[in-house]
Structure 1
């Protein structure tokens, strides 16, 4: 091999190493950004949702979260299966998801928006973590039934938060049709027993 060819190969290897180091730096930066802000195209799966919400089957009504803006907004999904226990009696021959459970699903998505901020600060998962307790509903309207096979897409926006009491606008859709919409109220409590008095 000639000296000129060796120098040329050495330069190519250096350029290749520089490119790969730059790529690793960029990937590391992207990972940090994704962890810092969950709104960058990253959703939450069942395991992550269960780290935020205390609910479990059969009362966990959020299958995944498509988008979270911590403390502000969340978009969640509930895949409505024919195997849901409530369809056995509501109603035989014409199964419809109970409207109160649609509202509960909205509240759970709102709790993800609210508590994801708290969760990322405290990292606690035990009974000492704060809870978002459902305290009221205003102007809730049900526009279409939710049935087995439907995918319920729920968007909740936190409108106000004063001390430990908040209000959120909630909309649940099936195939771009509004199934339910209204305002939900909640209170942030340290533990359920303190809320009960």
Structure 2
């Protein structure tokens, strides 16, 4: 999926859209996506001025956005104005390698289960084949009202 198709699935826009491309997506199973990290990211000005590092919470958010695309592809829905995809839990988050400008963040999420509208994923972000961050994510779709 290129950025134009991604925009049909995610309501996020600049500066909070954190998925640039979907490399592979098998509905009901897993997704591999990528985020090209550049020095132009708005957070690098303050995190940290002399040693830019992508905040861990944004790496987790990028993984959640990839997981959202996987879920929406699985249930055959695109984003709409009536509902949003929310975090409901993050377990076992670990940050193992700093992500810096110039890195290509490979985002991988696998569906572990879905029960009563709550989706659980095993998620991992890699740079150059090394794990940068990993966590189990739980998300759900809810009406905005």
Deviation per residue, 1:70-113 (Å, 9 max, x gap): 13211010000000000000001100000000000000000010
Structure of greater Rg: 1
C-alpha RMSD of matched pairs (Å): 1.3
1:168 matches 2:121? yes
SS of match in other structure, 2:38: coil
Q: Which has the higher contact order (CA 8 A, sep 6+)?
A: 2
Where in structure 1 do 4 or more consecutive aligned residues deviate above 6 Å? none
Q: How does 1:100-115 map to 2 (within 5 A)?
A: 100-115=57-72
Counterpart Cα distance in 1 of 2:29 and 2:11: 20
Give the aligned partner of residue 69 of structure 1. Answer: 26
Matched residue SS, 1:77: strand
Shift of 1:125: 4.7
Q: Which structure shows the higher strand fraction?
A: 2
| Cα distance in 2 between the residues matched to 1:112 and 1:146 | 23
Alignment of 1:158 onto 2:111: yes
What is the distance in 1 between the residues matched to 2:85 and 2:28?
Answer: 12
**Runs (5+) with no aligned partner, structure 1:** 1-43
1:159 deviates by: 0.3
Structure 2 distance, partners of 1:125, 1:137, is 23
Tell me how many residue pairs correspond in the alignment: 145
In the other structure, the counterpart of 1:10 is: none
Q: Which of the pair is proportionally richer in helix?
A: 1
Work out whether residues 140 and 181 of structure 1, in 8 Å CA contact, stay in contact via their aligned partners in 2.
yes
Unaligned stretches of 5+ residues in structure 2 = none
**After superposition, what is the alpha-carbon deviation per residue over 1:154-189, rounded to whole angstroms, capped at 9, x for unaligned?**
100010100211110000000001000110111122
